[in-house]
Amino acid sequence: MPVTDDAGLRAILTSMKTIAMVGASTNWNRPSYFVMKYLQGKGFRVLPVNPGAAGQELLGETIYATLADIPVPVDMVDMFRKADAAPEVATDAIAIGAKVLWMQLGIEHAEAAATAEDAGLQVVMNRCPKIEYARLFGELGWGGVNTGILSSRRKTL
């Protein structure tokens, strides 16, 4: 059963230190680029995986062609690929000994999730670690509610 509860998501985000990002883009205007940069700023080591840009550097990290090419242990695989790529990514995540398979917003694949879970991985589907981190660790501004911009008190001059 995929992880959906806040306690489970918080446990994943506090225990994972090295994340392989499958489908990381070198384009600064893509969601994967922004998520990678954000997670790095929170202390995670994010290793980009993109066969079309392998060997290049992205945000201070070498881009790898495949998960198998990463020379260090990986705690979590964050998938920025279409759902039909999930079975292969799940199999590769199992092969490298990852502990978590995280499928980004809009990505759900029951078969891939079952394969990963049967191998002992935790699975998160249809969520973004950047959004969940911000939500669970109090970084969302609630549309100005906890920023001091909006207030129920009368403005004093």
Q: What is the mean pLDDT of residues 113-135?
A: 96
pLDDT (0 to 100) of residue 155: 61
Q: Residue 11 phi/psi, 5° resolution?
A: -60, -40
Count structural domains, the chain: 1
Rounded mean pLDDT of the chain?
91
For residue 102, give both structure tokens: 């995280």
Q: What is the pLDDT of residue 66?
A: 98
pLDDT given for residue 8 in this prediction: 95
Q: What is the pLDDT of residues 92-108, one digit of tens each?
A: 999 999 999 999 999 99
Helix and strand numbers (H, E) in the chain are 5, 7
Give the confidence band of 156 by pLDDT, cuts at 50, 70, 90. Answer: low
Contact criterion met (CB below 8 Å) for 41 and 139: no
CATH code, domain with 124: 3.40.50.720
Q: What pLDDT score does 149 carry?
A: 52
CB within 8 Å of 146: residues ≥ 6 apart: none
Question: Which structural domain, as residue segments, surrounds residue 27?
Answer: 6-128
